[in-house]
Chains A and B, each alone.
Chain A
Amino acid sequence: MARSSASSSERHGRTAASAAVSRVYLDYGGFSPVDPRVVALMRPFLEGGVGNPSAPHSLGLEARASLDGARAKVARLFGGAPGGVIFTASATEANNLGIRGVAQRANGRHVVTSAVEHISVLNACRHLEKRGYAVTYVPVDAEGRVDPDAVRRAVRGDTALISVMAANGEIGTLQPLRELGRVARERAVPFHVDAVGAAGRVALNVEECAIDLLTLSSNDLYGPPGAGALWVRPEVPLGPIILGGSQEGGYRAGTENLPAIVGMGVAAELARSEGAAEAARLTALRDRLLGGLLQRVARARLTGARGAARLPHHASLVVPGVKADGVLMELDLRGVAASTGSACNMASGEPSHVLRAIGCAREESEGSLCFTLGRWTAAAEIDVVLDAVPAVVERLRRLAP
């Protein structure tokens, strides 16, 4: 669904100038259209004249050079050594590799993480629990923030890893990475950060925050889906979770998806040069959207942190008295694509673990809405949403028993 909307907006040139807004796409957290500049540079890697990076001929050598070029571009986004970048097929895979790969090499059998992590982090931790590891899920405050002191108290003598996300995809809250990194360094425990959502949008530096492992998603940077990366500080012991050949230093077997990886590199470069300006533009749009919705929809309440403490492109709220599914369906009919912020929640009908962790009542969490803005979001789209959401909510509340 997201994909077709992305390609259709591509056909239409995707500029703010397409003034008559026919389609409003505010689900960049679900899927981001790939930047046309990225597509252009990927094209030769799909159309031929390129070899396998492991091949012993000149086309292979060129492919190897392109792969390492992408590695350097990705590493530059967060100030890490390029040799530490391991390309994967997704951020989910990178989270699995970071967590399970560190655990299998560590002597300790304990992991500290937070109650609001992405499902790929939580389920990797549950996988470790099944194999005899203990995992501490540190709770968060009402805005979804992890208390570094609580992490400090959770660390034990046998803690093998601390894993805390940079920003929450459902409620937009940024975590205090600097303080968390200090705790990890102080206790000499490797620190893994799932930086999906934050990378390219907020300043992120592995030295300043003492990060030892970092997860990135290509698509979240407006790169193609099908690529992700785990950066690992060279001295941190890691084991592979996918076994096969010697690609990616032996830490991630399987022939590299070179077109996607090259695209991810270009996307990282663009994020590094344009991310700050884009974040400032989106913050203004986001604040207008959030401010307007909270004012126009009775009893609506912001979820997550405010202002600079949340992702610049992220607006999330709960609306009591309606079901999010119903609101999203009505919005879709009016050409607006948004989400609840949580795929897990949508599938099982249970309140999401994130909303539970911040203490949302069940009735409230059923009306959870998430709008994620992006590179091609125009002011006119915000106006459409500011008109549509109050009308839809009012209608659904009237229909409710």
Chain B
Amino acid sequence: MPIVADRKLDCIGLFCPMPILKTRDALQQMDVGQTLEMLSDDPASEADMQSWTARTGHDLLEIDKHGAVFRFLVRKTR
């Protein structure tokens, strides 16, 4: 069953570092265990999100791409 995100964040049209900064700020306002869906069409955001979640320890549950738009599903872990 697909995960329904607790919160959605639209970063379409923005470029590095804004998708990461806005993801960080959104997660700060959420509870541990909650999930955030972030949409971005910055070609750099796939690598950026992978490296940022690896460093910060949040779970990157899903990455998929619809046309030019990436959809990231992140679970807050701490």
Contact = CB atoms under 8 A, between A and B. Distances in A.
Contacts of B43: 126, 129-130
Contact of A127 (B15, B20, B55): B15
Interface stretch (A11-19, A37-45, A344-352): A344-352
Contacts of A246: none
B37 interface: no
A348 B41 contact: no
Contacts of B55: 349-350, 362
A130 B41 CA distance: 7
A218 to B, nearest CB: 24
Interface in B45-63: 48, 51-52, 55
B22 to A, nearest CB: 10
- Using C-beta atoms within 8 Å of the partner chain, give the interface range for chain A: 10 to 19
B16 A344 contact: yes
- Using C-beta atoms within 8 Å of the partner chain, give the interface range for chain B: 10 to 19
A126 B68 contact: no
A7 interface: no
Nearest to A343: B17
B32 interface: no
A122 B48 CA distance: 14
A126 B42 contact: yes
A350 B48 contact: yes
B15 A347 contact: no
A132 to B, nearest CB: 9
B51 to A, nearest CB: 6
A362 B68 CA distance: 30
B26 interface: no
B15 A348 contact: no
A344 B41 contact: no
B68 A130 contact: yes
B21 A126 contact: no
B15 A126 contact: yes
Interface of B: 15-17, 20-21, 24, 41-44, 48, 51-52, 55, 68
Interface of A: 119, 122-123, 126-127, 129-130, 344, 347-350, 362
